[in-house]
Amino acid sequence: MHQLGGPGSLRREELEAVSADPGQVVIDVSATGCNFFDILITQGKYQVRPELPFSPGAEVAGTVREVGEGVERFAVGDRVSALLAYGGFASTVVAPQERVFSMPSQMTFEEAAALGVVYQTSYVGLVHRANLRQGETLLVHAAAGGVGLAAVQIGAALGARVLGTAGTPDKLDLVKQNGADVALNYRDEDWVERVNELTDGRGADVIYDPVGGDTFDLSTKCVAFEGRILIIGFASGRIPSAKMNRVLVKNFSLVGLHWGLYFEKNPQVLQDAQEAISRLYAARKIAPVVSATYPLVDAEVALAALGARKTTGKIVLIP
């Protein structure tokens, strides 16, 4: 990116070879995951605003090429994933060692790239922030998308009763295939009433909301007493304002998640989450859904599909 013009401003460019400074790891990238915030960062609308020129991309998987002085957890040839602030739309990246994670032996590079941000976001959000408990009801919005499917799978793995919303029959089927007990079409005006009916009038204990806008407003009408609405993002484009009298009357909590901030404030949370995610994967309780792969040079096309909501699960770029 040499200008903030959205994904259409992405240009292929050859760069000089990178090397590892102390505490860093150089990775030859085999797969890079795409996320909605990759679109926002190319528009200058994301909370991370790197100086131009830069490359988007926060999650990569590949093979260690070089390690810097002081790096003890990784060696040349290791299969790893990494979670970056940006810069992952590349064939080689350099990352601080605290942002690099070992891959389970049976995991593919495409799965590892798809497992990073969305499963970390969903696990940290549901477990660390919202304290989802076995037997509770979890409502996941945009449940057929990347973070949504991860939340559905993790919620089911943790023993919650999972309700998911999506907008087409195919996506509703996908949500159920990935562990949801009930899939609801958010285009139906009565989905709020359905949530309340399915919970005997109680409402959902935890509501996972990456959409914002009207979806958030309606969620306040079907959240349980002492429930938690987990604020993940605002894919709808509108940042809602809560009616605080409703928060007070129903005794529910609004819980925010700025996942990337944990690298600065408490990185151990992310290490613990990654270990738990790897255990769930090894136990076959979660499985990343890669709906499409594109060559890295077609990153603009991939992000356009993501932005148009034509995708399910994760899109992965292959250098």
Tokens representing 128 are 């660390």
Looking at the structure, tell me whether residues 74 and 202 fall in a common domain. no
Last residue of a domain, one of 215, 240, 260: 260
Same domain, 134 and 239: yes
Residue at 62 is within a domain: yes
Instruction: Tell me if 149 is assigned to some domain.
Output: yes
Do 173 and 252 fall within a single domain?
yes
Residue 279 in any domain: the answer is no
Domain shared by 94 and 145, yes or no: no
In this predicted structure, the answer to whether residue 260 has a pLDDT above a threshold of 90 is no
- Is the previous residue joined to 53 through a cis bond, with omega within 30 degrees of 0? yes
Do 146 and 251 fall into the same domain?
Answer: yes
Total tally of structural domains belonging to the chain: 2
Give the confidence band of 234 by pLDDT, cuts at 50, 70, 90.
confident
pLDDT in tens, 114-125: 998 999 999 999
Summarize pLDDT for 25-50 with one digit per residue, the tens.
999 999 999 998 899 999 998 888 99
Residues 96, 142, single domain; the answer is no
* pTM, 2 dp: 0.89
Domain containing 44 equals: 7-103+289-318
CB of 165 closer than 8 Å to CB of 171: no
Percent over 70 (pLDDT), the chain: 100
With respect to residue 67, please indicate whether it lies within any of the assigned structural domains.
yes
Look at residue 95 and tell me if it is in a domain. Answer: yes
Q: Give the CATH number for residue 183.
A: 3.40.50.720
Residue 201 — left, alpha, or beta (φ > 0 → left; ψ -120 to 50 → alpha)?
A: left
Are 300 and 179 within one domain?
A: no
Say if CB 204 and CB 138 are below 8 A apart.
yes
* 268 domain residue, yes or no: no
Determine contact, residues 88/99, Cβ cutoff 8 Å. no
CATH number at residue 31: 3.90.180.10
Residues 141 and 203 reside in one and the same domain: yes
Dihedral angle, C-alpha 102, 29, 308, 183, nearest 10 °: -20
Mean pLDDT of the chain: 94
Last residue of a domain, one of 222, 243, 260: 260
1: in domain? no
> Do 142 and 237 fall within a single domain?
yes
**Residues 130 and 250 reside in one and the same domain:** yes
pLDDT in tens, 261-271: 998 999 999 99
Residue 177 lies in a domain: yes
Q: Are residues 200 and 169 both part of a single domain?
A: yes
Looking at residues 298-319, what average pLDDT do you find? 88
Res 311: pLDDT: 74
Helix (H) or strand (E) holding 24, with range, is strand 24-33
Query: Does residue 209 share a domain with residue 172?
Result: yes
